[in-house]
Amino acid sequence: MPKPYNPRDRFYRKAKDQGLRARSAFKLDEIQRRFHVLKPGARVLDLGAAPGGWCQIAAREVGSKGFVLGVDLEAIPSLPGVTTWVADAFSPELLARLRSEGRAPYDAVLSDLAPKTSGIHGVDEARSLDLAGRALDLSLQVLKPSGFFVVKVFMGGDFAGFLKACKQAFVEVRVVRPEASVARGSKEVYLVCRETRKLRAASDGSTLRTSGA
């Protein structure tokens, strides 16, 4: 699990200097620079969004014509160009609400969900994978077939099984360890997934694309 914040950490200081709410914003910033997961005018869902660092990067990239929805158990102080909800990612009602009020489907679903750490590696890894699995399941129900899914997960436990599940669901899956993660000595990685298999099947003529997707 990641080490405690160090005020001397260059990403922590850089976030403060740039008015970003968390050093983790630079993880998404690097992913964006490498893979261009966020496009102008896109609709974005950010799970585990507090305190809002990823939302800030997403809002910058999608611009005034885009839409960013940040969801977290904790309240997120207002941010320009960002809609926020206090909600549980595991809530059975969340999916229906995303569809009725949250402007689903999305061009990108982001998940920086992380468990409260217990200090017991096996337990923390299992909780991390549970959150990543929930994010994957939710993304497949609210993501446009051509969209991106970005999810944090800690190495260890059944990481291989989760990676396999992502590869079964998406055409392209990259395992990324951003520089800001390396700097803290964290075991976290991010999976950058693009284009659901449903879209590839439709383009091959084997299935029909869902209406409105």
Q: Is the bond into 178 cis (omega within 30 degrees of 0)?
A: no
Which residues, including other chains, have CB under 8 Å from residue 63's CB and lie 6 or more apart?
40, 41
- Catalytic site includes residue 152: yes
Six-digit token string for 91: 């809530």
Structure tokens at 195: 């284009």
Three-state DSSP class for 56?
helix
Among 56, 200, 48, CA closest to 134: 48
Least Cα distance to 62 among 15, 107, 112 occurs for 107
110: left (phi over 0), alpha (psi -120 to 50) or beta: beta
Structure tokens that stand for 54 in this block: 């990823």
Active-site hit among 27, 152, 187, 198 = 152
DSSP three-state, residue 103: coil
Closest alpha carbon to 187 in 175, 201, 199, 202: 175
CA distance 90 to 175: 25
* Structure-block tokens of residue 204: 């091959």
Could you give the residue numbers annotated as active site? 152
